[in-house]
């Protein structure tokens, strides 16, 4: 009897630990995982032809960028090498009856196959990331252009509710250099509730590119903070060393749209620049940039929440870290003086190899991709293990783009947090079972 009670108590302890041990932040779960990425080909024959011709080389397709909007998951597959048939996609279930059965989930080119033709400068050439304005339902797609085909870099804007192109801006070579650039990531800057500027990192030319939506013009800033740090070019992930010589990469904007944060991928420095500088093409960038701290290791993507928490990739720790910027603003008495102190790990796991792009949805889920680029770029990806994953964790904080929905978010959590809600329900059930068991045993 005694040992049974001990066992029950132990189980109860495990249960309570599971329920309360992680505060209000849920564990990250791997929702989708693939060994190789596949697409919704018109037919089996077309897929085979694509493999034969080299248009589709399965292992060369690495999911990198991610955004989630209106129950749709958008992912990018940058054309790092040959054999990537489609660079911007949505996820669909290949098995119509099963909603997103992970291994059967394939990519559907967005908006269509004909926007994915390599060598056609009017189509997408190499897309690393997108951003979506949830208020207007507008998607901003940055395209590096082609190296082999001489296409200029461009921004393409979609009405994502109707899948209709609204506008495109081809970057002048003087702003985004054709052939050498790599447009990597972007944030939206809202003025009076509307997106007025996009800030885009050009990781290979070490620049931040500004697109002024109203005036349909673009310009770029250069600063030494956007360059790789010479002593940080070796990135180690799970004992695999990869040399990275790119610069400014992850970028985020604070929830009041007053400051932008960015970091070079070959580096640990996190920098801050006021948006009033970025909005002014003749401003002196270097006179206003400020380093706010060092990240635990080199990192890739980052995203800010409405609450002003910055989530970012920590490559050498297979992790996502969270900087509670809002807390440190209190401590330092202003965002213009803030330093990065309050750092915790939101998610880490040995299988989170190369946390790549991060997104926050409307209901407080953090989404991120892991792309194993340390193996990809060393030609070490193999057919016999999981290479690409999409993770999700409930963090209670929607993205910065949901800023003026703040009051309805409390409500949203109850409505949309299916995952967390059902977890809680099953936990309650387990509790009742144990509690009853405990009562019976102690009678």
Ligand X SMILES: *[C@@H]1O[C@H](CO)[C@@H](O)[C@H](O)[C@H]1NC(C)=O
Residues that bind ligand X (CB under 6 A): 59, 231, 233-234, 280, 282-284, 382-383
Q: Which of 6, 58, 3 is nearest to 36 (CA)?
A: 58
Nearer to ligand X, 71 or 282 (CB): 282
CB neighbours of 227 closer than 8 A, spacing ≥ 6?
A: 206, 247, 248, 264
Q: Which of 51, 80, 50 shows the shortest CA–CA distance to 64?
A: 80
Closer residue to ligand X (CB): 23 or 230? 230
* CB 94 to ligand X: min, Å: 17
Cis peptide before 111 (omega within 30 of 0): yes
Closer Cβ to ligand X, 232 or 307, answer by number: 232
Task: Tell me the closest approach of the beta carbon of residue 48 to ligand X, in angstroms.
Answer: 12
Angle, alpha carbons 68-156-106 (nearest 5°): 45
**Which of 60/305 has CB closer to ligand X?**
60
CB of 336 to ligand X, least distance (A): 17
Instruction: Give the nearest distance from C-beta 319 to ligand X in angstroms.
Output: 21
Q: How far is the CB of 279 from ligand X (least distance, A)?
A: 8
Q: At what angle do helices 418-442 and 2-20 cross, to 10 degrees?
A: 160
Residues 179, 281: Cα–Cα separation, whole Å: 24
Classify residue 216 as exposed, middle or buried by CB count within 10 Å of its CB (0-12, 13-18, 19+): exposed
Least distance to ligand X, CB of residue 158, Å: 31
Closest distance to ligand X from the beta carbon of 142 (Å):
25
CA distance 259 to 381: 39
Among 359, 358, 364, 360, smallest CA distance to 408 is for: 364
- Nearest Cα neighbor of 64 from 79, 75, 56 is 75
Residues 320, 56: Cα–Cα separation, whole Å: 31
Residue with Cβ nearer ligand X (110 or 221): 221
Q: Do residues 146 and 84 lie in contact, with contact meaning Cβ atoms separated by under 8 Å?
A: no
**Shortest approach of ligand X to residue 56 CB, angstroms?**
13
Distances (CA, A) of 147 to 35, 151, 228, 436, 443: 27, 7, 22, 67, 76
Q: Which is nearer to ligand X, 59 or 437 (CB)?
A: 59
Terminus-to-terminus CA distance in the chain, angstroms? Answer: 11
CB of 275 to ligand X, least distance (A): 12
Q: Are strands 302-304 and 310-314 parallel, antiparallel or unpaired?
A: antiparallel
> Among residues 71 and 382, whose Cβ is nearest to ligand X?
382
What's the DSSP call for residue 174? T
Choice between 69 and 376, CB closer to ligand X: 376
In terms of CB distance, is 283 or 329 closer to ligand X? 283
Residues contacting residue 263 through CB under 8 Å, at least 6 positions apart: 248, 249, 250, 269, 270, 271, 295, 299, 302, 312
- Nearer to ligand X by Cβ, of 277 and 401: the residue is 277
**Smallest distance from ligand X to CB 205, Å:** 22
């Amino acid at each position: 009897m005694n040992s049974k009670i001990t066992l029950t108590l132990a189980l109860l302890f495990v249960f309570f630990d599971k329920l309360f041990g992680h505060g209000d932040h849920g564990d990250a779960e791997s929702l989708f995982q693939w060994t190789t990425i596949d697409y919704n080909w018109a037919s089996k024959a077309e897929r085979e032809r694509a493999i034969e011709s080299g248009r589709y080389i399965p292992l060369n397709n690495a999911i990198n960028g991610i955004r989630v909007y209106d129950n749709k998951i958008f992912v990018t597959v940058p054309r790092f090498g040959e054999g990537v048939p489609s660079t911007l996609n949505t996820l669909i279930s290949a098995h119509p009856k099963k909603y997103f059965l992970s291994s059967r989930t394939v990519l559907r080119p967005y908006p269509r196959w004909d926007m994915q033709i390599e060598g056609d400068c009017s189509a997408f050439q190499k897309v690393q990331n997108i951003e979506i304005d949830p208020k207007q339902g507008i998607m901003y797609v940055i395209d590096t252009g082609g190296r082999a085909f001489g296409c200029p870099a461009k921004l393409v804007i979609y009405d994502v509710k109707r899948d209709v192109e609204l506008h495109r801006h081809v970057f002048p070579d003087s702003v985004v250099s054709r052939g050498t650039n790599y447009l990597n990531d972007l944030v939206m800057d809202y003025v009076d509730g509307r997106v007025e500027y996009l800030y885009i990192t050009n990781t290979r030319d070490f620049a931040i590119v500004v697109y002024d939506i109203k005036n349909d013009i673009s310009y770029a800033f250069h600063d030494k903070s956007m360059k790789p740090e010479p002593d940080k070019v070796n990135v180690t992930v799970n004992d695999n060393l990869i040399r990275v010589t790119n610069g400014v990469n992850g970028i985020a904007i604070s929830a009041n749209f007053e400051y932008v944060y960015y970091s070079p991928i070959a580096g640990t420095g996190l920098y801050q620049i006021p948006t009033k500088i970025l909005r002014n093409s003749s401003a002196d960038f270097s006179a206003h940039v400020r380093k706010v701290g060092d990240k635990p290791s080199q990192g890739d993507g980052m995203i800010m929440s409405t609450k002003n928490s910055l989530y970012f990739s920590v490559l050498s720790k297979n992790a996502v870290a969270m900087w509670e910027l809002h807390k440190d603003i209190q401590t330092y008495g202003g965002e213009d003086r803030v330093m990065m102190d309050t750092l915790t790990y939101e998610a880490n796991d040995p299988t989170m190899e190369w946390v790549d792009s991060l997104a926050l949805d409307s209901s407080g889920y953090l989404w991120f991709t892991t792309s194993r680029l340390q193996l990809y770029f060393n030609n070490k990806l193999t057919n016999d293990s999981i290479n690409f994953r999409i993770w999700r964790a409930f963090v209670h904080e929607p993205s910065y783009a949901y800023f003026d929905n703040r009051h309805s978010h409390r409500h949203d959590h109850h409505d949309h947090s299916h995952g967390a809600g059902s977890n809680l329900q099953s936990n309650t059930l387990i509790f009742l079972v144990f509690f009853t068991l405990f009562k019976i045993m102690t009678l």
